[in-house]
């Protein structure tokens, strides 16, 4: 294998390129990215960058010297537009055709949008800077979608003195992911900080001076942020022969086809730790999966399943939220430590007869570690709860 092509120049793509070099691969690595910037970190966009606590020079994932040391053929600011699987060739928007021996698809996701013009989204550095310039005292911001991204943006905007209206179609924000009780606790923090949170409302379009709801009401604002989820960037794979279904479908090794692997937000792979297919849009997973895909591509005779423990975090006001495991599709949520009223607690998530996940708010990292180990053990729910409560002393 003399040429590896990595399409997607963010956390997963860079991690894959670095892993190839660490494993001793000395052939050509071409890294393609549709943004003109070198790979940079995205989680700070809705936190440190939006709040102006950081400037863009803190975002690059690696110093320029470290990136140069990898000896990459960098193709930045050029999107991939097609894949010939049989001919092992990727087409770029500038007309270039790039041949490969091995391919890693790490093209990530893009924000969903609503009908109408003029709304902000929050995915790139340019997005974050454009919104940041429009926030501050006396400004009115409507955020459509009270998921983690919308909630983080609301917290930052309130901290900057912006009036915030947060619109959410579900009765309880985030209930589908974290459960109704936890969703109500997190929502309460926004209400306490002066956010006008409206649930059970659906936005039909972005209108001049705000957004229009399904019932015709216009919610006025100076700026609108749409945070209603994302779509995997797989259109360029149409007609390639690869299976695309809520992302690039991969097996437990992250393989989508012979010598073709997926990594990061775009990969929909079978996680054997939980026995389900999943697509994870979190920074930690992107880096870990990029490494796994590179190793399995380079050494197919020694392939290992990619069976991570998903992890994510969110900062909202004074709340530090951390979660391990697979929370979606849970059957039961149980308070295992702390108190909801204090916004300092930990909850466990049962799926079937197993402990599938844990979420903590306002708890030190050491408190969550035993629960992570219990999830990884795949022990039955009751057994896992007993084991961890004995080890931590929680009654």
Let me know whether 275 and 188 are in one domain. no
For residue 133, the SS3 value is: coil
Let me know whether 276 and 136 are in one domain. no
> What pLDDT does residue 393 have?
52
Domain CATH number, residue 347: 3.30.390.30
Structural domain contains residue 375:
yes
Distance CA 143, CA 153 (A): 8
Distance CA 292, CA 137 (A): 46
Distance CA 162, CA 139 (A): 5
Structural domain contains residue 323:
yes
Q: Which two tokens stand for residue 309?
A: 């423990």
Tell me the mean pLDDT in the region 378-390.
81
Structural domain contains residue 34:
yes
Beta strand pairing status for 3-7 and 28-33? parallel
Let me know whether 55 and 135 are in one domain. no
Residue 394 scores a pLDDT above 60: no
Let me know whether 23 and 101 are in one domain. yes
Let me know whether 170 and 75 are in one domain. no
Task: Tell me phi and psi for residue 139, to 5 degrees.
Answer: -95, 150
The count of other CB atoms within 10 Å of the CB of residue 70 is 15
Residue 96 scores a pLDDT above 90: yes
Domain count, the chain: 3
Residue 392 scores a pLDDT above 70: no
- Mind listing the pLDDT tens digit for each residue in 274-295? 999 999 999 999 999 999 999 9
153: domain range?
113-226
Distance of alpha carbon 34 from its chain centroid, rounded?
18
Domain boundary among 171, 192, 226: 226
Domain boundary among 209, 226, 243: 226
- Mind listing the pLDDT tens digit for each residue in 42-66? 999 999 999 999 999 999 999 999 9
Let me know whether 73 and 154 are in one domain. no
> What pLDDT does residue 391 have?
57
Cα R_g (the chain), whole angstroms: 22
Let me know whether 379 and 353 are in one domain. yes
Structural domain contains residue 366:
yes
- Mind listing the pLDDT tens digit for each residue in 112-135? 999 999 999 999 999 999 999 999
Structural domain contains residue 325:
yes
Domain CATH number, residue 193: 3.50.50.60
Domain boundary among 302, 326, 341: 302
Confidence of residue 395 (pLDDT cuts 50, 70, 90): very low
Structural domain contains residue 310:
no
Structural domain contains residue 204:
yes
Let me know whether 247 and 100 are in one domain. yes
> What pLDDT does residue 5 have?
98
Let me know whether 24 and 152 are in one domain. no
Let me know whether 96 and 243 are in one domain. yes
Distance CA 50, CA 196 (A): 20
Percent of the chain scored above 70 by pLDDT?
A: 98
> What pLDDT does residue 378 have?
86
Let me know whether 325 and 270 are in one domain. no
Residue 365 scores a pLDDT above 60: yes
What pTM, to 2 d.p., does this model score? 0.95
Structural domain contains residue 308:
no
Dihedral angle over CA of 372, 378, 380, 384, nearest 10: -20
> What pLDDT does residue 208 have?
83
Look at 94 and 373; give whichever has higher pLDDT.
94
> What pLDDT does residue 388 have?
77
- Mind listing the pLDDT tens digit for each residue in 155-197? 999 999 999 999 999 999 999 889 999 999 999 999 999 999 9
Tell me the mean pLDDT in the region 214-226.
97
Let me know whether 93 and 159 are in one domain. no
């Amino acid at each position: 294998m003399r040429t590896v092509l990595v399409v997607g120049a963010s956390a997963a793509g860079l991690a894959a390129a670095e892993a190839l070099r660490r494993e001793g691969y000395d052939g050509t690595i071409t890294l393609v990215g549709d943004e003109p910037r070198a790979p940079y970190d995205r989680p700070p966009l809705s936190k440190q960058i939006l709040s102006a606590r950081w400037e863009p020079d803190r975002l690059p994932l690696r110093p320029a010297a470290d990136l140069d040391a990898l000896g990459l053929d960098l193709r930045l600011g050029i999107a991939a537009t097609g894949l010939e699987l049989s001919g092992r060739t990727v087409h770029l928007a500038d007309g270039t055709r790039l041949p490969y021996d091995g391919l890693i698809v790490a093209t990530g996701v893009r924000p969903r949008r609503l009908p109408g013009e003029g709304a902000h989204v929050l995915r790139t550095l340019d997005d974050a800077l454009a919104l940041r310039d429009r926030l501050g005292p006396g400004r009115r911001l409507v955020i459509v979608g009270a998921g983690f991204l919308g909630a983080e943006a609301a917290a930052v905007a309130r901290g900057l003195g912006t009036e915030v209206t947060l619109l959410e179609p579900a009765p309880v924000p985030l209930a589908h992911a974290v459960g109704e009780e936890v969703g109500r606790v997190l929502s309460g923090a926004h209400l306490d900080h002066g956010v006008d949170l409206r649930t059970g409302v659906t936005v039909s379009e972005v209108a001049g001076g705000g957004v229009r709801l399904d019932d015709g009401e216009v919610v006025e604002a100076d700026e609108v942020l749409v945070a209603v989820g994302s779509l995997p960037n797989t259109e360029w794979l149409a007609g390639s022969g690869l299976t695309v279904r809520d992302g690039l479908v991969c097996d437990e090794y992250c393989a989508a086809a012979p010598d073709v692997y997926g990594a990061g937000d775009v990969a929909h792979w079978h996680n054997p730790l939980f026995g389900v297919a999943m697509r994870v849009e979190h920074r930690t997973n992107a880096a870990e999966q990029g490494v796994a895909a590179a190793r399995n591509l380079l050494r197919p005779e020694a392939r290992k399943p990619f069976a991570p423990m998903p992890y994510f975090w969110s900062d909202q006001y004074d709340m530090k939220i951390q979660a391990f495991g697979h929370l979606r599709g849970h059957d039961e949520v149980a308070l295992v430590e702390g108190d909801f009223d204090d916004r300092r607690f930990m909850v466990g998530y049962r799926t079937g007869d197993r402990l599938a996940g844990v979420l903590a708010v306002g708890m030190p990292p050491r408190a969550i570690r035993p629960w992570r180990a219990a999830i990884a053990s795949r022990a039955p729910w009751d057994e896992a709860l007993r084991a961890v409560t004995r080890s931590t002393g929680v009654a």
